Chain A
Amino acid sequence: MRCSWRWATVGIVISGIASSSEAQAQEDRAEVFRSSHRMVESPQHFAAELRFSPFLADVDSDPLLRGQTPFADIFGASKTIMFSGELDWQAVRIPHLGTFGPGASFGYAMFSGNASITGTNQASAETTSLEIYPMYVVGVLRGDALWRELRIPVVPYLKFGVAAALWRASNTVGTSYYEGTAGRGYTLGTQLALGVSFNLNVLDDIAARSFDEDVGVNGTYIFGEWTRADLTGLGFQSDPLRVGGTYWTMGIAFEF
């Protein structure tokens, strides 16, 4: 998996460079057009991401389960799609490197399966689910110098910070209960992500500039990211429900 991602990254870089050359040609051809338009780039302070992550929670990694797999038993091994959004403030620009600033994210994922008939391994027709609302606050370092100074449309980035996830287990009646305790809570942890963004501006520079003039978006990116949400309590919680995981994320980002 990691190998294939490496090749994908190389592919993106190569195609980006090629597209960059082509884009340069387009820029030349559009010089006349540009001359009649203002060429002032709008200020850039933020980045927003729409994120999609095939996700499988690490619930069964709890050592107290002693090898039992209640999560897999109910929900199976199929991943669900986590939807999330992230907003970063590019507070500081580091010369010849990129930007750095805080970012925050909020997402949603749900696992659903059939409850088992008590005392058996037979699935019932009753649905049970686990909803997870992951969120985090991270520091984001974006190395956009490649793009800004060398016109290579690739922006690697690093994110690290603290995370939390609200979760809720339910059945057909509503929130699950066991011995008087509601099946809902939160789990603390850390968030680490490494990713690469590909700047789509190179594909149509004129459109990109128009997008900037009209809406103020300086750059549009697609990105791929390796993410580790280590939601194991952050040392403050004992034996929390482990609703984090390690997963890949794809998405689209806008800098503005």
Chain B
Amino acid sequence: MSFLKSTLVAVAFVAAAAVVPLEAWAQTTSSSSSGSSTSEGITAGIPNPYRFIGSTNVTSSSRPINLNPTGANFSDCEQNLMLQFPIVASGFTGGDHIEVWAGTVDCRQDVSRTGLTSSGSQLCWQVAASTGSINNTLITSFNVYVRDVLRFENASTITTNVSDRQIYNPNWAGSDQGETACHVQSADAAVPIDIYFIPIASTSQANTGATAYKWTLNSDLVAPAAPTNVTIGIEDTALQVNWSSPGSADPDLAGFIVWSDPPAGGILGGGGCSCGSVGVGSASSYVGDGSVPEAASATTQVYECADGATFPIPSTDQESGTTAGDDSSDDGAADAGDADSSDAESGSASGDDGAGDDSADGAAGDDGAGASSDDGSSGDDSAPGTSDASDASPYPGCSLINVSIDSGAGNCYSPNLSAGFGVSGTSASTTASTGDDGSTSDDGSVGSTVATTVSSTTATASGLPGISEIPPQFNAGEIDSITTTQIALGGLTDGVNYVIVVTSIDGSGNVGPASLPACGMPAPVTDFYKTYRQANGSTPSGSCTLQRTGIPAQAPAFGVAFVGALAAWFRRRRKP
């Protein structure tokens, strides 16, 4: 029975391979080799490879179709995503084998794999171990780590690491250095990188006339800029959040995520809202480590980089906190919040509680996005929590500075949401605020309301690879539209201050840095009828009757009858 099952699987696999990517059959190599068969061909059993985080198959729980589910975003890279390609090799003779190369040029060309050009043009690099000699047919799987595919995308690194490029190192992706591959891009746009499965002769030359298989990985590691001008409107047990889109600065902006602390729909734990009770903010400064004390004129230290970006001081506490916050990644992914070490990722891979949404994955990511300035050098670069004692600064090129924190009364700040400020934007002004003094309360309920308007400039610089790492439990709502810039958060509690930030999400599911926060306190409202009745002091006659009969049912009926009578008459075309 087992043999029969295996046979059927094999037959099905070969049959599928025969009909899948026709494109692959056209990937004929064009270099010279001798002694090899031109009937050699490589095909894949499925259109797209399986996706694994550690040992967990996350293929079916990938992002929604509009968020590049088969590609790679920053979070995928941070989680050391592995692509598994079922491959069928057939017609092999002469001891040829299969090599797997990636690049943005045609890797079937021998010169693309062996060339030593220093012109800066892209070449190819090996991304998986080669097979041994193949006789006739081979059905196997290749495991390709996204980090290996991304590693040499940057032209400056590929020309200075020739040996690394041409010799595959199976341990690199999972090493500390492997995380540097997640920072090779600087612009927020998808970059296609081709992965080639090429029949190679023993002479290291591609087999002329053989058919290689090519699959393209669309990668996007840079998140969109933060929304601006976040404002809050007060409603009864609800808040209306408005913001401005970062606009044309982002080529693949896909939507927005609104974050709320305390979480919308309930108050969890102690909450982190440090809104002042009076909505008059004067200035706000934020650092991304969530450890800012809520004391006026406090001072803390952050790392400032050459480009002006600032990052928090890495700490063990912060790292563990981030890891815990990521446990609700919906795809079962490993700890996306851990930007650096593979051991930490595997340690939290089973933490999925399903609370987050797909696109929120990207939210858990870069520990401060410090790697935006990562030059790929050795050592821990953007890795809070894996601090390298030998490094003077965990952020290459950055130095420690003192930052004044204005977090006095009226400040709108949440340590829980500050994790989204992993990029520059550590100082910004609160430009407007409205609110009453909370002194009146006619019904004994909440009388203090705050509506603080905050605008941001520095936190919204485009192209910054800051990825929000706000814990998913603070995700209050997501808008899969770039034109919708308003959302109403319901299920809130009157009289409770809520800190709201908004992040952008791009077409690959990357969640960008948070906007500057705005605070709002839901409060009871008085609508027209209540206002009228309180002023009038009586019940308008006629109410009871209509309450029984119902207006909406009667009123339209009257109108329809009127229009119908007109229409019926006009249809009576009179011909004298």
Contact = CB atoms under 8 A, between A and B. Distances in A.
Nearest to B565: A87
Contacts of B449: 117, 120, 122
Contacts of B547: 181-182, 184-185
A128 B551 contact: no
Contacts of B233: 124-126
A99 interface: no
Interface string B493-533: 00000000000000000000000000000011111111111
Given A87-B566, A124-B235, A239-B538, A70 B543 contact: no
Give the contact-size bracket for chain A: 35 or more
Given A106-B559, A120-B440, A216-B573, A115 B542 contact: no
A183 B529 contact: yes
B573 A65 contact: no
Q: Which of B554, B569, B572 has the most CB of A within 10 A?
A: B569
A185 B541 contact: yes
Given A64-B536, A125-B235, A237-B542, A42 B528 contact: no
A214 interface: yes
Contacts of B532: 59, 70-71, 169, 241
B203 interface: no
Nearest to B240: A125
Interface string B461-492: 00000000000000000000000000010000
A64 to B, nearest CB: 5
Q: Is the interface of B mostly helix, strand, loop or mixed?
A: mixed
B528 A104 contact: no
Given A42-B576, A74-B531, A168-B551, A184 B234 contact: no
Interface in A210-231: 213-216
Interface in A171-222: 171-172, 176-179, 181-188, 213-216
Contacts of A131: 551
A168 B550 CA distance: 10
A116 B541 contact: no
B545 interface: yes
A145 B124 CA distance: 94
B574 interface: yes
Interface in A85-141: 85, 87, 104, 106, 108, 111, 113, 115-120, 122, 124-126, 128-131, 133, 135
A172 B531 contact: no
Interface string A64-77: 11001011011100
Given A118-B445, A122-B436, A216-B572, A185 B543 contact: yes
Nearest to A217: B570
A83 B575 CA distance: 32
B443 interface: yes
B558 interface: yes
A58 interface: no
B552 interface: yes
A233 interface: yes
Nearest to A179: B533
Contacts of B546: 166, 182, 184-186
B536 A118 contact: no
A27 interface: no
B419 interface: no
B322 to A, nearest CB: 33
- Residue of B233, B538, B551, B558 ringed by the most chain A CB atoms within 10 A: B551
A213 B575 CA distance: 6
A64 B543 CA distance: 17
Given A124-B234, A168-B551, A240 B535 contact: no
A184 B549 CA distance: 10
A169 B542 contact: no
A124 B240 CA distance: 9
B545 A186 contact: yes
Given A118-B442, A166-B546, A38 B434 contact: no
Contacts of A38: 576
Contacts of B574: 42-43, 216
A40 interface: yes
Contact of B525 (A64, A124, A185): A124
B235 A172 contact: yes
Contacts of A104: 562
A106 to B, nearest CB: 5
Nearest to B490: A172
B551 A176 contact: no
Nearest to A118: B524
A117 B569 CA distance: 51
Interface string A46-71: 10100000000001001011001011
A214 B532 CA distance: 52
A117 B538 contact: no
24 contacts: A40-B576, A70-B531, A73-B531, A106-B555, A116-B526, A117-B234, A117-B523, A118-B523, A118-B526, A119-B440, A119-B441, A122-B234, A124-B236, A166-B551, A169-B532, A171-B525, A176-B529, A183-B528, A188-B542, A215-B573, A216-B574, A239-B536, A256-B569, A256-B570
Nearest first, the 8 A-B pairs at minimum CB distance are A125-B233, A183-B529, A176-B529, A128-B527, A169-B529, A185-B543, A185-B542, A125-B240
Interface of B: 233-236, 238-240, 434-436, 440-443, 445, 447, 449, 488, 523-547, 551-552, 554-555, 558-559, 562-563, 565-566, 569-570, 572-576
